Amino acid sequence: MTRNAVLILISMVMVIGFWGHGAFYQLGEIPLVVIGGVAVFAVLKSISWANRSTAMGKRASGTLLFPPDDIKLVQYGSKSITVRPLRKTRMRAGTVYEAKLTVTTEKSFARLLVTDVYRKRLGELTEDEVSREGLRSLAEFRKKWEAAYSKWDPNEIVRVIEFRALSSIGTGA
């Protein structure tokens, strides 16, 4: 809503910028600013909508971090979900993220479109989800989870993030 208000204000300022063209202003100052502002707003909004509708042209909204072992899995599509602690993630479906090794790394190794985000208990993960996580078994997933987060609580609610790679970029190093 705030973005729309800013866009309409910018639109009205743009119309006022044409003040030197007298023929535009025979309607009167206020109606012209409102009508012109709404028209320019509509154009800007449609451009904004068009940019958002194609994920390939979308600017990344944030970063998804991965360990070095996951680079090739993500790039080649062997890993299409990631399971994260609920408290550490706020991903949204339909959003593009840069896949990186660390937050301070400038270069990403892939651009990912998040296709679904849902919550689940850690102990309720299926073999299929673990396979899409790039692992061979639930036991292997549990070992990796304990190494990363130091404890396994099957009742812990986690966030499962499904994604697909839009592009792969270098090696991420």
More confident of the two residues 164 and 34: 164
Instruction: Say which range, 10-14, 47-51, 62-66, 162-166, has the weakest mean pLDDT.
Output: 47-51
**pLDDT of residue 79 exceeding 80:** yes
Buried-exposed string 14-40: b where 16+ CB fall within 10 A, e elsewhere: ebeeeeeeeeebeeeeeebbeebbeeb
**pLDDT of residue 24 exceeding 70:** no
Q: What percent of the chain has pLDDT over 90?
A: 39
